Amino acid sequence: MNRVAGLRRPRASSQARIETILAAARELLSEQGVGGLSIYSVAERAQIPPSSVYHFFASVPALLQALTADIHRAFRAALQAPIEPDTLYTWHDLARLIERRTQAIYGEDAAARQLILAQHGLSEVSSADRQHDVELDGLMRAVFDRHFQLPALPEDMDVFALAMALSDRVYARSIQLHERITPRMAEEGMRVFEAYLGLYLAPHLPKR
C-alpha cells in the first residue's frame, strides 16, 4: 500500500507534493496515454527529483491506483450533488441525470478516459476501479432510494455497479473508435444503463 492509501492523513507539505505529482501524471496521461508514464517522466514534468515521487509512490501502478481513487472522488461528488426532486417524474429521469454527470466527467478528464475507458491492460488499475465501483453502487442505490421506492434488489448482485460497468463499455467503444464519446454513443450508453436497471426496476416506481 502506498503512503496515500495509509490511515494517516499526510502533512500539508506532503499533501501538496502528492497533488503536484498527480497533476503531472494527469498531464502526461492526457498527452501520451499510459504508455508515456514513468516515475522519471512524472518527476521531470513535476520538476522534482524522482526520489520524491518514489517517496510517495513505489511504482507506476501505485501512482495510477492513486489517480483512479482521485477520479472516483469526482464520481462520488457527482452522485452526492444536489438533485431537484421536481425535475424527476420517473426513475429514468434520475438515471439519465446521473449518466449525464458521468459523461461530463469523462468529457472533462482525460485521465478518467485513459484509466477507466481505454484498453491499458493494467490489472492493478482495473482491480482498483472495480473496488471503487462497489462503493459507487451503494451511493447510487441510496440516491435512487431517496427519490423512489425501490423494490427488493438481489443481495448477491451489485445492480447499479453492473449498470455503470455496462454503460462504461459503450463509452470505451466510442473512445476506441472515435477518441471521444460521441453524442450518438453517449445516448447509447444511457440506453444500456437504463435497460439493465429496467431488469430490476418497474417502469414506474412510486416517488418518495
Q: Could you tell me if 79 and 143 are in contact, meaning their C-beta atoms sit under 8 angstroms apart?
A: yes
Asked if residue 148 lies in contact with residue 207, where contact means CB atoms within 8 angstroms, the answer is: yes
What count of residues does the chain have?
Answer: 208
DSSP code string of 121-136: --HHHHHHHHHHHHHH
Phi (first) and psi of residue 43, to 5 degrees: -60, -40
Q: Which pLDDT score is estimated for 7?
A: 42
Per-residue confidence (pLDDT) for residue 185, from 0 to 100: 97
Cβ atoms < 10 Å from Cβ of 204? 11
**Cell of residue 117, nine digits:** 475507458
Rounded to whole angstroms, the Cα distance separating 199 from 202 reads: 8
The CA-based diameter of the chain, rounded to the nearest angstrom, is 58
Main-chain phi, psi angles of 182, to 5 degrees: -75, 160
**pLDDT score of 4:** 43
Give pTM, 2 decimals: 0.83
Q: Which residues contact 98 (CB under 8 A, 6 or more apart)?
A: 78, 79, 140, 143
pLDDT of residue 3: 41
CA proximity to 64, closest of 5, 6, 15, 137: 5
Half-sphere exposure of 81 (CA within 13 A, CB side): 13
One digit per residue, pLDDT tens: the chain, 208 residues?
444 444 455 566 788 899 999 999 988 888 888 877 899 999 999 999 999 999 999 998 889 888 888 888 999 999 999 999 999 999 999 999 999 999 999 999 988 898 888 866 667 777 777 778 888 999 999 999 999 999 999 988 999 999 999 999 999 999 999 989 999 999 999 999 999 999 999 999 999 8
Q: Return the pLDDT at 31.
A: 85
Residue 1 amino acid letter: M
What are the helix (H) ranges across the chain?
12-32, 39-46, 50-56, 60-80, 91-108, 110-112, 123-147, 159-178, 183-197
